[in-house]
A and B are shown apart, each in its own frame.
Chain A
Amino acid sequence: EDQVTQSPEALRLQEGESSSLNCSYTVSGLRGLFWYRQDPGKGPEFLFTLYSAGEEKEKERLKATLTKKESFLHITAPKPEDSATYLCAVEVSSGSRLTFGEGTQLTVNP
């Protein structure tokens, strides 16, 4: 059975304090790994797709990396507006069937 585990469940940072979120996965044939950001009461907002080990993508203060067993979302010098739940998901078959982790709730204090 495909499994996605995110850690930590919750993370509190001070503004400017860099850190990383982890997404480990156990799947039979990864087609893609996705990162989303979700604000309370809203739908997930697409951030990145990673397809192969060694791949990296960046967007503003966020950088996502992928290995054969896990992905990291690095947040550099975060701001309060980066506070949200960050979701990791994997796709293992054709079609948009995503298996999501439970998410990491990030709080950045000013």
Chain B
Amino acid sequence: KAGVTQTPRYLIKTRGQQVTLSCSPISGHRSVSWYQQTPGQGLQFLFEYFSETQRNKGNFPGRFSGRQFSNSRSEMNVSTLELGDSALYLCASSLTGSEAFFGQGTRLTVV
């Protein structure tokens, strides 16, 4: 079966712009989580959505937001981009809330 699909794979944005990343979970999975991965901080939890509701949120500023649609697809938005937002953004889906399966990620570069 198809895995977690993230689009786009690569993005280059300018400071101050905003960006929207997309994630299609594994069919039947209702939980979608987002993570930021950087060389210095490792993998850090951003937020989790389950049945269109944000169930969990990490310690990131309000510039980072997300949503989930009725078909479980999720989007993540970052406004007023900063250089430090450059990272690999990973989406993970799960059936029950455990055993998360990750997508290939979106590599965001802010210049």
B24 on the A face (CB < 8 A):
no
B100 on the A face (CB < 8 A):
yes
B87 on the A face (CB < 8 A):
no
Q: Is the CB of A34 within 8 A of B99?
A: yes
Q: Is the CB of B42 within 8 A of A101?
A: yes
Known contacts A43-B103, A43-B105; A99 and B98 CB within 8 A of each other: no
Q: Is the CB of B99 within 8 A of A49?
A: yes
Interface residues of B (CB under 8 A from A): 4, 6, 31, 33, 35, 42-45, 48, 50, 55-56, 58, 90, 92, 94, 97-105, 107
Known contacts A31-B98, A49-B98; A95 and B56 CB within 8 A of each other: yes
Complex: A101 Cα to B42 Cα, angstroms: 8
